[in-house]
Amino acid sequence: MQILGILAFVVALLISVMIHEFGHYVTAKHFGMKVSEFFLGFGTRIWSYRRGETEFGIKAVPAGGYCRIEGMTPGDVMPPGEEARAFYGATSGRKLVVLSAGSLLHFVIGYLLLFTLFVGVGTTQVLPVIGEVMKKSAAATSGIMVGDEVTSINGKKVSDWSKDVSAIRNSQGKELILGIKRAGQDLIITATPTLETVDGKKRFLLGIINKTGLHRSPVLTSFKDAGIITKSFLVESVKSLVKLPAKIPALWGQTVSGQTRDANGLVGIVGVARVSGQAVSSTKLSPAERLGTFILIIASLNIFVGLFNLLPLLPLDGGHMAVAIADEIRAFLARIRGRARPAAIDVTVLTPITMVVFVILAALTVMLLVADIVNPVSLNL
């Protein structure tokens, strides 16, 4: 079962990569740029076919993918008559759209997955269904029973127990009129909360413990909640990227010295795949909860990858975007001084910087790979 979860993660990751590259492809084609290749994977070509001027296919190493847009640098030679279709000849605005399209689609994937989770699978919530009635409590005295569903409080329909329960806590000891559904029948029960001390705080309680379970949200609520969680994931991703350099020494110790792996620390693709396998194979979760956990993992990963790819570092898309923005700043300054627009920055000049960043990212990837193998993260699912 764990293998199934890992395979599902690999498939989801490859689909995400394909959608990312499709973002570059469709925007480049829209602006008339020449796209010669669209491949999933790297290395030896396994299968391909040509449609128009673009070759689509699959390569042997499923470690990503690429969309080849011709004329990325001034040194690239374009076919005769197609010089105007080179990427480097496009306006900075069009370059930014093409470069950012992949990451933006990661955000879209994350949002849609979260929306699907809320509206289709459901999230674990406290339900308005009574799971336990405390002895000699207000609920027991009033006749509330295990299995009863609270449908209304003082005439107000119960829609979200985490919020509606405040009517009990803020009752000030006044009698409440509860709508109850029991065995298909609608009942009205009156109960008066009593003041109790819980965790050192005094609260008005009925003396009930609610059941928890999956709850599907309405469509409009799901639209809103998916946006809220997407924003939350973005904020947490930013925080993670800011803290990333400081976490590297700890990762080294966890890799070399066998220190306990921090579940909130750095995790590589292998680690995320392993956690996905744990989620799908967990016996502590129901099938729906396993699916929901898996969706959350893939959604958060897409949002993080989308943000990471926007970092202003070559060879990431964000690095190329930074170059395009620098071109516009230089052009603006030239206009102010009454000068001609300067030639676009040739990213090949920045190759030494690109290589340094590449080596650092490669070293971090290898370290994460080793850590995920020799000292994997476990969520105890």
Whose tokens are 């964000």? That residue is 318
Out of 159, 194, 215, pick the residue that ends a domain. Answer: 215
Instruction: Look at residue 62 and tell me if it is in a domain.
Output: no
Domains identified in the chain, total number: 2
- Look at residue 146 in the predicted model and tell me its pLDDT: 95
**Cross-strand partners of 215:** 123
- Look at residue 130 in the predicted model and tell me its pLDDT: 95
Instruction: Look at residue 337 and tell me if it is in a domain.
Output: yes
- Do 224 and 114 belong to one domain? yes
- Do 81 and 151 belong to one domain? no
Q: Which two tokens stand for residue 377?
A: 């993260």
b/e map 105-138, b = 16+ CB within 10 Å = bbbebbbebbbbbbbebbbebbbbbbeebeeebb
Instruction: Look at residue 44 and tell me if it is in a domain.
Output: no
Residue 195: give the domain boundaries: 124-215
Cα dihedral 330/332/335/337 (nearest 10): -70
- Do 106 and 247 belong to one domain? yes
- Look at residue 281 in the predicted model and tell me its pLDDT: 84
- Do 106 and 240 belong to one domain? yes
Out of 187, 215, 243, pick the residue that ends a domain. Answer: 215
- Do 134 and 200 belong to one domain? yes
Instruction: Look at residue 8 and tell me if it is in a domain.
Output: yes
For residues 121 and 214, is the Cβ–Cβ distance under 8 A? yes
- Do 312 and 254 belong to one domain? yes
User: Which amino acid type is present at position 28?
Assistant: A
- Do 228 and 208 belong to one domain? no
Query: What secondary structure does DSSP assign to 57-74, as a single string?
Result: EEEEEEEEEEEEES-SST
Cis peptide before 315 (omega within 30 of 0): yes
- Do 175 and 265 belong to one domain? no
For residue 131, what are the contacts with CB-CB under 8 A and spacing of at least 6?
Answer: 146, 208, 209, 210, 211
Out of 215, 238, 254, pick the residue that ends a domain. Answer: 215
CATH number at residue 141: 2.30.42.10
Q: Residue 32 in 3-state DSSP?
A: coil
- Do 238 and 186 belong to one domain? no
- Do 17 and 153 belong to one domain? no
User: Which amino acid type is present at position 215?
Assistant: H
Q: By C-alpha distance, which of 139, 158, 155 is closest to 147?
A: 139
Instruction: Look at residue 57 and tell me if it is in a domain.
Output: no
- Look at residue 200 in the predicted model and tell me its pLDDT: 83
* Sign of the CA dihedral with 338 first, then 339, 341, and 345 last: negative
Cα separation values, 309 from 36, 227, 229, 312, Å: 23, 21, 20, 8
Cis peptide before 376 (omega within 30 of 0): no
Instruction: Look at residue 331 and tell me if it is in a domain.
Output: yes
Instruction: Look at residue 42 and tell me if it is in a domain.
Output: no
- Do 196 and 316 belong to one domain? no
pLDDT tens track of the chain, all 381 residues? Answer: 678 888 999 899 999 999 999 999 999 999 999 999 999 998 899 999 999 999 999 999 887 889 999 999 888 889 888 999 999 989 999 999 999 999 999 999 999 999 999 999 999 889 999 999 999 899 999 999 999 999 999 999 998 898 899 999 999 999 999 999 999 999 999 999 999 888 888 899 999 999 988 889 999 999 999 999 999 999 999 999 998 888 888 888 877 776 777 767 778 888 888 888 888 888 888 889 899 999 999 999 999 999 999 999 999 999 999 999 999 999 999 999 999 988 888 888 899 999 999 999 988 888 888 888 887 876 666
- Look at residue 303 in the predicted model and tell me its pLDDT: 97
Largest CA distance in the chain: 90
For residues 370 and 255, is the Cβ–Cβ distance under 8 A? yes
Instruction: Look at residue 339 and tell me if it is in a domain.
Output: yes
- Do 111 and 153 belong to one domain? no
